[in-house]
Structures are given as C-alpha cells and as structure tokens.
Structure 1
Amino acid sequence: MKYIDIVIVGGGQAGLAMAYALKRINLDCIILDENSETGYSWRNRYDSLELFTPKAYSRLYEHNYVGDEREFPTKNDVALYLKEFKKSKNLKVMYGEKVIKVSQKANRNYTIVTHNSTIEAHQVIVATGAFYTPFIPDIHDASIPITLHSANYRNANQIPEGKILIVGGGNTGVQIAAELSSTHEVHLSISKEPKRISTTLLGKSIFWWFDKLQILKLKPNTILGEKLRKAEPLIGHDFVTVLNSVSIHGKLEEISNKVAYFKGKSSLEPDAVIWATGYKNDYSWIKVENALDIDQKPNHHQGISSISGLYYIGLSWQRNRASGLIHGVTEDAEFIAKHIDKNLNTRRNK
C-alpha cells in the first residue's frame, strides 16, 4: 500500500488552492482527481456559462487571468485558468482516481480506496466542493420523456420544440430560461420572487462593493449571514429578460401524467423539463465514525473536522460568504494549512 502524508480528494479550485497552500509551507501532498484533466468539470458545463464574478474575484492567490480583470470569465476561461495554475505551481495530481471509500485505521491513519489504487495517508482533505451530486426532487412520475438536470444541459440545440418547463429560480435556472427564451416557449417555476442585484454599481463590480463593505467576510452564524444564506440574490440582468419573455409560475408541487401542477392551482403540459434544482453533497464514501452528522453532512468547524486529520474545503459558507466562490477558497486554504502545520509542529515537539 502506497503511503502519502496528506491526500486531497478533489482537483477543482478548492483542491488546487489547498495543495498550493501546503506547498507554500513545505508540506508534501497529492491530489486525487476523478477527472482526466484539470478544469474538466468546468468545461463540461453548459456552453454559455459565464461567471457573475469578474476575473479579479475569480482567481486563486494572485495568479491572474489573461485579459482585463474586469471581464467576466466563461467556463472555458476558468478551465484553462485552473489548468495553468496547476502547471505553474507544479502541483501533484493523480488523474482518473475516483475515491470510493475513506476509512480510518487503528493507528489513526486513513485508508483511501479508489477504483485503481489504495493509499494510506496521515491526513485527508475533502475538496469535492460545495456542489456535487445533481438533485431532482421526488415530485414527478417520469411521465415526461425529455427530462434533464441543468448539470446535463449544454445548449438550446438539445432541447426539442414545444413548451419547456424550467424548475428552479436560482441563478442557473434564470440564466438557462433567459437563453432558451429566444428560441423556445419557456416556463419558469419559482418558489418565491427573487431578490435581484446588478453586476455593477457606480461603475464598479458588485463584488468590489461586497469586498469593501465586508459582505464577503460575513460569517454563517451572524444575523446578516443567516439572512443572506436564506435568500441568496440573483446577480445580473437575466431576470429582466425572463420577466419580458418567459411565463412565470409558482412553486412546482407535482408532475403527474404529463401535467405539471403549481402552487395556486395553475397547470401546464410541458414537452420537456429542465431541473435547475441544485446539488447535494454525497459523503457516503466517508466511512469514518462521527465524521458526519445525523444528516450525513460533515462535522466540522470552519473546515476542521471533529476527527483528527480530516478536513474539508470548498463548502458553501464554510467560513464566510466567500467560501463557496473561487475567490474565497484561497483564505480558507491558508487557514487549514496553518492548522495542519501547527498540529505537525506540536507532534514533532512532543
């Protein structure tokens, strides 16, 4: 069995930032990435995806994008950026290594099992990110033959003619609804009227203002933090397009016999459904006692697990509002790296 002191599970922006944070303090680690190359998960998203954070707020450390930092990067820009970041920092990545089990040995080391190998590590950092497994609520009977999650949406060409129902009023659902409205009859189901903010204010990125006003530093357990977590705003102008070009319905309650029923007793017979209903983290592969709570979510405080040697990074609201953004994982990675280094120094001095 191969031994590696620190293993990072996940090769996205969180895993890369974590690996670089450890490298900066001379701690050796390796990233296990289930994909075939760095940036693959970004390249695999819908074609028109553009971040609502400008390049200046979509970077790791001080590693800059090519071009104007005020521009909004596309999905391919982000994929290329991450690939170049990994190369320039000379980070160690094992590709095609999907982790299927992490368990703890009697000596408190960890055993990491992938489809291809088994590794022993003293410490494991879970960097699979804030959004992992596509979630579709169990309120449909599969009677509509063309149904897909937004994770599998690429462009309008894959969507048939007719009435298209998009379920979910977050940024992704609204962006797809706005895009399809130029070619299809689109219906959008939302639970409540969203709050909207522009990408710019007085000539500055809204994230510049968030930064200056310390909104990105809001902690999850503060009054303002809790309010923001419950009502994340839509960013950008897509909802204006939706208001002008899309039929908006209330919360979807059920799809039965090819009919969608909404709150308020309205209904629709859609020809296709796109579920923009978000993601759920799946931690069933972590077989470590007390690592997960009763809801199968990580037991942690700011990314530090209650189990020695186990850490998390890239979680939404892990330490603050910025944690789930590319921009925010740098500080989270530094925080965890310092904790690991402190523990190692304590162990050495005993």
Structure 2
Amino acid sequence: MTRTSQVVVIGGGQSGLAAGYHLRRLGLDFVTLDAQATPGGAWQHAWDSLHLFSPAAYSSLPGRPMPLQVGETYPDAAHVVGYLTEYERRYDLPVHRPVRVTGVHRDGRLLRVETDSGSWHAQAVISATGTWWRPFLPAVPGRSDFRGRQLHTVEYRSPHDFAGQRVVVVGGGNSGAQIAADLAYDTELTWVTQRPPRFLADDIDGRALFDAATARRRALDGGRTDTGGVASLGDIVAVPPVREARDAGRLKASPMFVRLDRDGVVWADGTRTEADAIVWCTGFRPALSHLAPLQLRGRRGRIATVGTRALEEPRLHLLGYGDWTGPASATLIGVGRPVRGTARGIAELLT
C-alpha cells in the first residue's frame, strides 16, 4: 500500500517533533515515521544517571518551555522523555510508530519512502534520525581478543552492573566523563582519553555552548575569522556528578592504550591493566543508511548541504545531526533555529 503526504518526517525524536511543530504552523500536510515503539526518541534509552547540560528553561523545543524538574537544576533523561511525550500530545503531531524506514528513493516528481509497513510518496522529506543508532567503535588492535565484556555508551545503564569489577572507560568527551564519574565509586576504574581531558569552567553549561556554536556559525557564514566555537572552550561540561568525582580525585585520566589482549589493555611502553569490562564512549556517526538509494554521500560520508537542504536533492532536508546541519542542532535548544528555516524552505518549494 502506498500513501501520500506533502512532507514525510523520518524520526520522531526531538528534531522530528520540532519539525512537526513548524510544519503544522505553516499548514502543511505531513506525517512523522518513528522506529521507536514509544515517544521520547533516544532519551528513553539513555543511562540511568544521565542529566542535561542546561537547566530546563534552556532545553526547550519551539513553542513549549520544558517544565522544571523538582529537586533538579539539570533535568534527567526520564524528565526529557516525559516532556517529549507531552509535546507530541499537546500539538497532536501525526507520529506513526513503530515504523522503520528502509529507503528513500526518487520517483519522478516525488520521493518514495519505503518502510516495513508500506510506502509513502512525498514532495519533500526531512531526515531527523540523529546519531544514537549508529555508535562508533575504533579499530583498536586486539579488540576481538579481549575476553571481558565490551559495550558502547548506548548499552551502558548503571554502575550497579559493574560493582567490584575492573572497568576501563574510553573517551574524553561528555559521555566518557559522565560514565567514568558514575563508575568512580563502585568499581576499580581506569579512565582513558586520547588527550588530557579539558573541563569547561564550572559555571559554563549548555546555554554558553549554544551561544558559542551560534557565534562560530555566524562568523563562518560572514567570512570572518573562525571563533573555534565550543571546541575553544573545552570538551567536558562539569555537571555536578562530574565535578564531584573530579574534585574528589577520582577522575584521573590515562593516555590512550595501543592495543588490547585477552585480559585487558596495553600501553606503548608495555604497561598492562587487566579489565573485566571496557566501556567505549567513542562517539557516533549520523544514521543515514535509509538515504543510501539517493547516492548523495561525499567522500567522507557526509551529504553536502546548504543549511539543512541537501545540495544535490532539494526535496530532502537533514535535521539535527550536529553543526553541519545547524549550530548545536543535535541539542534540544539548538534544533529550534534551523528547523524554522527548514519548514519555511519546504513551504516555498511546495508553492
């Protein structure tokens, strides 16, 4: 069965919902296809202790402020899931789930979106699938030889799963620091980073990061000197649990090891550390396999865009994948600015 809509939004997380809000305000006919069985996007799969980097007032989608969470300055993941669920209900967004998109194809004047429950024809498509579903694992020698447990950020839940164990956490970004802080009290922790960890000043949170990312984008667009954006400030937001573990001397980073063996990790000088588990907090890649039929990827795997619009396929927009589709667009507050332009651009295309 093939159905038709002016716009198909792929992904019902924060970016897809923000897109739906603006599409509805412009009076466009659209449908959102979400592979998850319940609302909340990737937030419903986060580890137990995860908190936002910003207060609720600075973590809102267009049109609806996030309510405060009692007793928390920085809302936790469960609070975000509740907010997204209520946002979807409040604006009566037409989200179909669970629907898995298998491919987007050119079909004459339309785009055909193939799914596991039929196909859709659309005049425009917004891809808002994010990165959570495509975790990245580095090709470290010996990784397949290690006999202990290996898991990525997406699979980590709680320090209780590792109590009393020897755990190596790999990664010097926010996920690595937060999970290392989570494990710092109940495990024999080794935290490994590619370079010495750079903590942002304790009074900097997501508000300042969003402002820095926006200023960098404006400078680049205006042909001015690159400000460095967020990277110029540091890599790790010192949220309270990270700050506490750091100040207690429990977050001491070791340099990156060169290989794994059956029982642990090995550094360049031959030093070894035995481990029961390794948590790879090594980032993500954009989840774009559904766009492969369009053959838009460049040599580095990215799709060239002007704003959020695909350069070689103007009927396609990419939303929420990071700075290349809008400053801080992978964040709750950051997606609001590019999504407004996305919706307006689609409205102009359809008229």
TM-score higher than 0.5: yes
Q: Is the 8 A contact 2:258 2:268 kept in 1?
A: yes
Q: Which moved more, 1:253-262 or 1:5-14?
A: 253-262
Shift of 1:208: 4.4
Shift of 1:225: 4.9
Shift of 1:296: 2.4
Residue number among 255, 262, 278 corresponding to 1:273 in the alignment: 278
Q: Which moved more, 1:153-162 or 1:286-295?
A: 286-295
Separation in structure 2 between the aligned mates of residue 288 and residue 223 of structure 1, nearest angstrom: 38
Task: Give the aligned partner of residue 192 of structure 1.
Answer: 195
Residue number among 317, 324, 334 corresponding to 1:328 in the alignment: 334
| Identical aligned residues as a percent | 24
Q: Is the 8 A contact 1:7 1:123 kept in 2?
A: yes
Separation in structure 1 between the aligned mates of residue 243 and residue 194 of structure 2, nearest angstrom: 15
Residue number among 307, 315, 323 corresponding to 2:321 in the alignment: 315
Task: Give the aligned partner of residue 79 of structure 1.
Answer: 81
Residue number among 94, 97, 122 corresponding to 1:95 in the alignment: 97
| One-letter identity of the residue aligned with 2:110 | N
Alignment of 1:102-251 (within 5 A): 102-105=104-107, 107-139=108-140, 140-159=143-162, 161-200=164-203, 206-209=205-208, 215-219=213-217, 221=220, 223-226=225-228, 228-229=230-231, 232-237=234-239, 238=242, 241-242=245-246, 244-251=249-256
| One-letter identity of the residue aligned with 2:130 | G
Shift of 1:200: 2.5
Separation in structure 2 between the aligned mates of residue 284 and residue 215 of structure 1, nearest angstrom: 27
Residue number among 246, 255, 261 corresponding to 1:256 in the alignment: 261
Q: Which moved more, 1:268-277 or 1:113-122?
A: 113-122
After superposition, the C-alpha distances for 1:119-144 in whole angstroms (9 at most, x for unaligned) are 11111110012443111112112423
Separation in structure 1 between the aligned mates of residue 7 and residue 189 of structure 2, nearest angstrom: 48
Shift of 1:209: 4.6
Q: Is the 8 A contact 1:315 1:324 kept in 2?
A: yes
Q: SS of the counterpart of 1:172?
A: helix
Q: Is the 8 A contact 1:217 1:322 kept in 2?
A: no
Q: SS of the counterpart of 2:87?
A: helix
| One-letter identity of the residue aligned with 2:350 | L
Separation in structure 1 between the aligned mates of residue 209 and residue 153 of structure 2, nearest angstrom: 28
Indicate whether 1:338 and 2:340 are aligned.
no
After superposition, the C-alpha distances for 1:284-319 in whole angstroms (9 at most, x for unaligned) are 321344422122222212111121201110011035
| One-letter identity of the residue aligned with 2:96 | M
Q: Is the 8 A contact 1:10 1:128 kept in 2?
A: yes
After superposition, the C-alpha distances for 1:182-227 in whole angstroms (9 at most, x for unaligned) are 11110011011122124526xxxx444556x665342184644556
Task: Give the aligned partner of residue 291 of structure 2.
Answer: 286
| One-letter identity of the residue aligned with 1:296 | G
Shift of 1:98: 0.9
Return closer, same or farther for 1:251/1:227 CA change in 2, 3 Å cut-off: farther
Q: Is the 8 A contact 1:249 1:262 kept in 2?
A: no
Separation in structure 1 between the aligned mates of residue 170 and residue 155 of structure 2, nearest angstrom: 14
Separation in structure 1 between the aligned mates of residue 176 and residue 73 of structure 2, nearest angstrom: 22
Q: SS of the counterpart of 2:73?
A: coil
Q: Normalised by the size of structure 1, how large is the TM-score?
A: 0.89
| One-letter identity of the residue aligned with 2:75 | P
Shift of 1:247: 4.8
Separation in structure 1 between the aligned mates of residue 69 and residue 35 of structure 2, nearest angstrom: 32
Q: Is the 8 A contact 1:10 1:34 kept in 2?
A: yes
Q: Is the 8 A contact 2:35 2:99 kept in 1?
A: yes
Shift of 1:40: 4.8
Separation in structure 2 between the aligned mates of residue 281 and residue 208 of structure 1, nearest angstrom: 24
| One-letter identity of the residue aligned with 1:189 | V
Separation in structure 1 between the aligned mates of residue 61 and residue 264 of structure 2, nearest angstrom: 46
Which blocks of at least 5 consecutive residues in structure 2 are unaligned? Answer: none
Q: SS of the counterpart of 2:344?
A: helix
Shift of 1:44: 1.6
Q: Is the 8 A contact 2:36 2:99 kept in 1?
A: yes
Q: SS of the counterpart of 2:104?
A: strand
Q: SS of the counterpart of 2:217?
A: coil
Separation in structure 1 between the aligned mates of residue 86 and residue 263 of structure 2, nearest angstrom: 47
Shift of 1:162: 2.6
Task: Give the aligned partner of residue 49 of structure 1.
Answer: 50
